[in-house]
């Protein structure tokens, strides 16, 4: 579905949709799962492919992946809203809020989980979910927060993670947010700010009969759109389907397909809104691939079989008696309509991990296999419609996506966050080689800003001038020791002395070359994260 109205040059609204872990193979299998004459709603919107690596690993996690989309900067796995050294970053959510726009996050995960956290908080460790919850409320920036993970907001005496005496719900109410805890209350909501937390789990249910208190992703999407669109200045909304990733890790293909069906229903609502509001940019992209899913449909084994499943493989395994073949057979038949053979049941009973073995067995019934229970480095497709959609054409880094979202709104992320944060790392590396220490973030920002007027070479020349009173050997000894954290060997001094002589004594060039040594980059990437305080009301 695309709008027939003229597309404005600048996006008033941005809706960023993330089917976590759902790479090309997920979308291909979903086509077979769905069947029928209608293609999935995202297919006409395909623009390109996204490279998903993080700064320190070719295989990203959800934290670093979402960080690239939210801030335009690659970071280390495990961090949200910060650069590699733990320095806080500006996100597209921040840009929108500063421009007077409404902002929101909606997820079938705990709202404090890695992906939504990158769009609403800053923390060097994604696991600090109690701190992230405090930021959501303490920063008073997000207007809509909907999803799972109520326990991250409740106190320890209530079974949650917040210190006793902390009242995040009271603070949220003081700031004009209405708190809702079930689907009916959400449906009845008609205000301007809402906090909705619908269970104490890591995710909302993905398959089978939904608990009465849990809204669907489509229902949460409708409320988010109707609420945020009341802001005349526009909005930025992050929408995530988490269960594609959660059950990709479990190698449970059936549940990932049901999760994608939930996601498509949500996207249908979003595209209807976009058609009526052509000044809205919609972007859909996964953060990475999960599981290395294969696509091997056949007449006797197609993902279409998964449509009749009503329980996860893990849920089935929790219900049957693994020592009783009849219990296994009856339970699987009840929730899938499939009858396992005696050999298949015997194989399950001999497995060290019965839930995983069952998931793999049932996935194979639909022509799907997995190569890992982790993530892979596969590229992921990106889809877009609305103002700025063509910015996402071609193959690009995940960090470029964040830059383009800002550009589509007619805004820019800070200069030191552009180029994927590469200038931040280059300046930090150069400074460390020059002085033997990691510069403060404001120093880095100032130096990166100066790169607008001078190249990295010129900055290296300027920094090398600090050794004007030293001879070449003293200069090289100091720089090499700063870089490698150990006194240089005679052979290293001789090599770099020869290099310095060959380039006409250009110390700036030598400083830059030494700062870019692979061993130096590796050492920087092994530094522990900053312990800066990111909990504003702790």
- CA-nearest of 366, 344, 147, 345 to 255 is 366
428 CB burial (10 A radius; 0-12, 13-18, 19+): buried
DSSP state of 306: G
How far is 465 from 79, CA to CA, in rounded Å? 36
How far is 402 from 36, CA to CA, in rounded Å? 35
Alpha-carbon torsion, ordered 170, 173, 175, 181, to 10 deg:
110
Q: Which residues fall in the annotated binding site for Zn(2+)?
A: 20, 245, 249, 287-288, 375
Judge contact between 123 and 102, C-beta under 8 A: no
Instruction: Provide the sign of the torsion angle of the four alpha carbons 447, 450, 452, 455, taken in this order.
Output: negative
How far is 194 from 180, CA to CA, in rounded Å? 7
How far is 348 from 355, CA to CA, in rounded Å? 9
Judge contact between 118 and 98, C-beta under 8 A: no
- CA-nearest of 321, 517, 332 to 430 is 517
Scan for tokens 């939930």, then name that residue: 262
Q: Which of 54, 62, 122, 464 is catalytic?
A: 62
Active site residue 62: yes
DSSP state of 382: E
CA angle 527/531/537 to nearest 5° reads 155
Count of residues making up the chain: 538
Q: Return the number of other C-beta atoms located less than 10 Å from residue 331's C-beta.
A: 21
Judge contact between 41 and 385, C-beta under 8 A: no
How far is 256 from 317, CA to CA, in rounded Å? 17
Judge contact between 346 and 270, C-beta under 8 A: no
Sequence-distant (≥ 6) Cβ neighbours of residue 399 within 8 angstroms: 68, 72, 73, 74, 420, 421
What amino acid positions are annotated as catalytic residues?
62
């Amino acid at each position: 579905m695309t709008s027939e109205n003229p597309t404005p040059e600048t996006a008033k609204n941005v809706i960023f949709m993330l089917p976590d872990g759902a790479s090309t193979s997920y979308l291909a299998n979903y086509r077979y799962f769905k069947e029928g004459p209608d293609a999935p709603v995202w297919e006409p919107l395909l623009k390109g492919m996204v490279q998903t690596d993080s700064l320190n690993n070719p295989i990203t996690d959800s934290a670093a992946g979402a960080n690239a989309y939210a801030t335009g900067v690659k970071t280390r796995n495990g961090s949200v809203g910060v650069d590699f050294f733990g320095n806080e970053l500006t996100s597209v959510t921040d840009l929108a809020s500063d421009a007077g726009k409404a902002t929101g996050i909606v997820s079938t995960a705990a709202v404090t989980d890695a992906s939504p956290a990158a769009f609403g908080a800053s923390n060097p460790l994604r696991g600090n979910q109690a701190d992230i919850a405090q930021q959501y409320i303490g920063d008073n920036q997000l207007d809509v927060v909907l999803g799972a993970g109520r326990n991250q907001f409740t106190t320890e005496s209530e079974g949650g993670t917040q210190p006793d005496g902390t009242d995040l719900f009271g603070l949220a109410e003081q700031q004009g947010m209405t708190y809702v805890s079930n689907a009916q209350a959400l449906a009845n909501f008609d205000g301007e700010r809402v906090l909705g937390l619908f269970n104490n789990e890591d995710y909302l249910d993905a398959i089978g009969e939904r608990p009465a208190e849990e809204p669907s992703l489509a229902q949460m999407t409708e409320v988010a759109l109707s609420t945020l669109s009341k802001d005349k200045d526009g909005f930025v909304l992050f929408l995530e389907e988490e269960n594609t990733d959660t059950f990709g890790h479990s190698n449970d293909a059936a549940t990932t397909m049901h999760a994608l069906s939930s996601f498509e229903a949500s996207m249908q609502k979003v595209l209807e809104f976009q058609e009526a509001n052509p000044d809205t940019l919609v972007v859909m992209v996964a953060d990475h691939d999960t599981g290395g899913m294969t696509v091997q449909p056949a007449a006797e084994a197609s993902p279409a079989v998964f449509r009749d499943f009503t329980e996860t493989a893990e849920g089935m395994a929790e219900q049957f008696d693994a020592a009783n073949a009849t219990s296994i057979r009856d339970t699987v038949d009840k929730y899938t309509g499939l009858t396992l053979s005696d050999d298949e049941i015997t194989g399950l009973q001999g497995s060290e991990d019965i839930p995983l073995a069952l998931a793999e067995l049932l996935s194979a019934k639909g022509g799907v296999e997995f190569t890992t229970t982790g993530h892979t480095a596969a590229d992921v497709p990106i889809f877009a419609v609305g103002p700025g959609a063509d910015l996402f054409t071609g193959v690009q880094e995940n960090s470029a996506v964040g830059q383009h979202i800002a550009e589509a709104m007619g805004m820019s992320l800070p200069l030191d966050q552009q180029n994927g944060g590469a200038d931040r790392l280059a300046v930090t590396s150069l400074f460390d080689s020059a002085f033997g220490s990691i510069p403060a973030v404001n120093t880095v920002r100032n130096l990166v800003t100066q790169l607008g007027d001078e190249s990295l070479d010129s900055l290296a020349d300027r920094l090398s001038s600090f050794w004007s009173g030293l001879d070449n050997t003293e200069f090289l000894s100091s720089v090499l020791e700063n870089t490698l954290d150990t006194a240089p060997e005679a052979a290293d001094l001789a090599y770099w002395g020869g290099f310095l002589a060959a380039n006409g004594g250009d110390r700036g060039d030598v400083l830059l070359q030494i700062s870019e040594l692979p061993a130096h980059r590796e050492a920087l990437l092994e530094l522990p994260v900053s312990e800066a305080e990111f909990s504003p009301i702790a």
